[in-house]
């Protein structure tokens, strides 16, 4: 986990220096402010060797295991029940570690209990496992610790993660049918080119004379596929590998996240999913009492889209310049006019968090409606594509046979 060296002043005005562990620079500043220290300078410090060793161990385990969203939801629910019942956090962690079946989660819970026994805060201990606990999760727990409402923070995160799970399931369910159809069409074209057309090729050539152009095209494509299938397969593998390498770069990831929002049919759905996630996350953060600037920093990494995240970061810069929230939201050009009116009302009445929650519900309803209609919108396109493929095959394969039959009967 990152460590920071700081210099500041305490409540009495005396100068203090020290070292603090936090997930980011903003979180370090928030922790210092909560402890009654006004930070003057905060700089990154080198982590201790023991922590680096622990981090490398965790990465090694993560190569073979991961904590699923369902397991994280269950963990949050159980921690909510245990903390609400007054069970000490350390004992709760030890107890849960003995009940989970995931070795990675079991090891993390044991490490969390060890860190708590050493005097670390829970948010500080969670930030050592960024691959499992997001910055939003850590910030919510940090706020719950400072306000004495840790059980409420776990409950909010469980509800938020459950909404995320339902959204992911809905998107997967809606895209499963078109992806299956595209895969079936691709397999069918491959079988026809490699096995069917070569079987008819000798028959076509025995006709003599000039074959229809549709047949010539099919034979040419079939010959190319049979002779160069290895090059096509190798090129496909190289393209996929290059694509994933490109997406891992900052520039590539940004460009891909932006392009996904412009895909036909599914692009608007992805866009509304991201905006719903932004509204829901920002509402939870503001309700928890996180400052708006820090909240936007958290949300920028939690929306799951770097392009939208960059717009959220621009909103934070606008607020730091003294601009109003609705003004920065309007400049970002992310929201519909209806949502902008809701945010304006929320800012005037001091209930931005409630309006954001309403906006999240609005976007989630639109996503649900679009997902239900996605299959009916894609089905005609799939039927036309399959019909064109059948037409080309019918003209290319059966037209010469029909002409031969006509010649013989004539």
CATH number at residue 251: 1.20.81.30
Shared-domain flag, residues 229 and 317:
yes
Q: Is 36 left (phi over 0), alpha (psi -120 to 50) or beta?
A: left
What's the number of domains the chain is made of?
A: 3
Percentage of the chain lying above the pLDDT 90 cut = 5
Shared-domain flag, residues 2 and 118:
no
Is the CA virtual torsion 286, 292, 296, 297 positive or negative?
A: negative
In a domain, 319, yes or no: yes
Shared-domain flag, residues 168 and 223:
yes
Sheet holding 38-45, edge to edge: 15-21, 3-9, 38-45
In a domain, 147, yes or no: no
Q: What are phi and psi of 18, to 5 degrees?
A: 175, -165
Shared-domain flag, residues 125 and 221:
no
Specify the higher pLDDT residue, 145 or 410. 145
| pLDDT tens string 247-291 | 889 889 889 989 988 888 888 888 888 888 888 888 888 887 778
Report the interhelical angle of 337-349 vs 352-393 (nearest 10°). Answer: 170
pLDDT at residue number 239? 95
Res. 50 pLDDT band, cuts 50 70 90: very low
pLDDT for residue 171 is more than 90: no
- Within 10 A of 256 (CB to CB), how many other CB atoms are there? 16
Q: What are phi and psi of 43, to 5 degrees?
A: -130, 150
pLDDT for residue 154 is more than 80: yes
The Cα 257–Cα 242 span in angstroms is: 17
Tokens standing for residue 252: 């590539």
In a domain, 180, yes or no: yes
The Cα 262–Cα 256 span in angstroms is: 10
Shared-domain flag, residues 187 and 332:
yes
Q: What are phi and psi of 350, to 5 degrees?
A: 75, 25
Shared-domain flag, residues 334 and 284:
yes
Q: For residue 97, which of 89, 88, 107 has the smallest C-alpha distance? A: 107
pLDDT at residue number 237? 94
Q: For residue 379, which of 180, 88, 228 has the smallest C-alpha distance? A: 180
Instruction: Give the HSE-up count for residue 170: Cα atoms under 13 Å, Cβ half-sphere.
Output: 21
Q: Which residues pair with 9 in a beta bridge?
A: 15, 38
In a domain, 113, yes or no: yes
Q: For residue 95, which of 119, 75, 122, 72 has the smallest C-alpha distance? A: 75
Q: Are 105 and 129 in contact (CB under 8 A)?
A: no
pLDDT at residue number 317? 86
Average pLDDT for 304-316: 86
The Cα 341–Cα 65 span in angstroms is: 45
pLDDT at residue number 406? 63
Structural domain of residue 39, as residue ranges? 1-47
In a domain, 157, yes or no: no
Q: Are 220 and 235 in contact (CB under 8 A)?
A: no
DSSP letter assigned to residue 293: H
In a domain, 152, yes or no: no
Average pLDDT for 177-198: 80
Shared-domain flag, residues 34 and 115:
no
Which stretch of DSSP H or E encloses residue 42?
strand 38-45
Classified as helix, coil or strand, 43 is strand
Shared-domain flag, residues 343 and 248:
yes
Average pLDDT for 294-298: 81
SS3 content of the chain, % helix, strand, coil (to 5): 75, 5, 20
| pLDDT tens string 88-114 | 888 888 888 888 888 888 888 889 888
Res. 47 pLDDT band, cuts 50 70 90: very low
Shared-domain flag, residues 53 and 39:
no
Specify the higher pLDDT residue, 255 or 391. 255
In a domain, 243, yes or no: yes
- Within 10 A of 215 (CB to CB), how many other CB atoms are there? 23
Q: Across all residues in the chain, what is the average pLDDT? A: 79
pLDDT at residue number 38? 66
Last residue of a domain, one of 133, 152, 174: 133
The Cα 189–Cα 126 span in angstroms is: 51
Shared-domain flag, residues 54 and 43:
no
In a domain, 366, yes or no: yes
The Cα 144–Cα 154 span in angstroms is: 8
Average pLDDT for 285-298: 81
Q: Are 3 and 21 in contact (CB under 8 A)?
A: yes
The Cα 175–Cα 247 span in angstroms is: 21
pLDDT at residue number 55? 43
Residues in the chain: 410
pLDDT at residue number 235? 93
Shared-domain flag, residues 297 and 410:
yes
Question: What's the N-to-C CA distance of the chain in angstroms?
Answer: 86
The Cα 407–Cα 150 span in angstroms is: 86
Shared-domain flag, residues 103 and 37:
no
């Amino acid at each position: 986990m990152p460590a920071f060296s700081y210099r500041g002043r305490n409540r009495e005005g005396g100068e203090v220096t020290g070292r603090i562990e936090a997930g980011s620079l903003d979180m370090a500043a928030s922790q210092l402010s909560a402890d009654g220290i006004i930070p003057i300078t905060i700089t990154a410090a080198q982590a201790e060797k023991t922590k680096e060793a622990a981090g490398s161990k965790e990465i090694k385990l993560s190569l073979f295991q991961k904590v699923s969203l369902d397991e994280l939801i269950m963990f949050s629910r159980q921690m909510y029940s245990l903390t609400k019942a007054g069970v000490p956090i350390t004992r709760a962690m030890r107890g849960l570690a003995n009940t989970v079946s995931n070795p990675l989660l079991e090891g993390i819970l044991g490490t969390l209990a060890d860190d708590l026994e050493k005097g670390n805060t829970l948010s500080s201990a969670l930030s050592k496992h960024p691959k499992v606990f997001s910055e939003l999760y850590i910030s919510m727990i940090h706020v719950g610790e400072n306000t004495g409402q840790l059980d409420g923070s776990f409950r909010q995160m469980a509800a938020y993660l459950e909404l995320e799970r339902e959204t992911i399931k809905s998107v997967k369910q809606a895209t499963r049918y078109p992806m299956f159809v595209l895969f079936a069409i691709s397999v069918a074209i491959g079988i026809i080119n490699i096995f069917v057309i070569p079987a008819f090729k000798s028959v076509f050539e025995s006709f003599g004379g000039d074959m229809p152009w549709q047949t010539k095209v099919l034979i040419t494509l079939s010959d190319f596929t049979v002779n160069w299938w290895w090059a096509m397969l190798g090129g496909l593998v190289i393209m996929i590998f290059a694509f994933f390498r490109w997406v891992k770069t900052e520039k590539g990831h940004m460009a891909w996240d932006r392009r996904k929002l412009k895909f036909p049919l599914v692009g608007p759905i992805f866009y509304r999913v991201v905006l719903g996630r932004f509204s829901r996350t920002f509402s939870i953060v503001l309700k928890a009492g996180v400052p708006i600037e820090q909240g936007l920093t958290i949300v920028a990494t939690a929306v799951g889209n770097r392009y939208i995240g960059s717009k959220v970061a621009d909103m934070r810069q606008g607020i730091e310049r003294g601009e109003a929230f609705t003004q920065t939201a309007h400049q970002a050009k992310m929201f519909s006019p209806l949502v902008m009116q809701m945010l304006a009302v929320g800012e005037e009445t001091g209930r931005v968090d409630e309006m954001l929650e309403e906006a999240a519900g609005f976007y989630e309803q639109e996503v649900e409606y679009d997902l239900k209609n996605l299959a009916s919108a894609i089905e005609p396109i799939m039927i036309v594509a399959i019909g064109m493929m059948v037409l080309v095959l019918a003209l290319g394969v059966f037209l010469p046979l029909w002409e031969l039959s006509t010649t013989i009967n004539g």
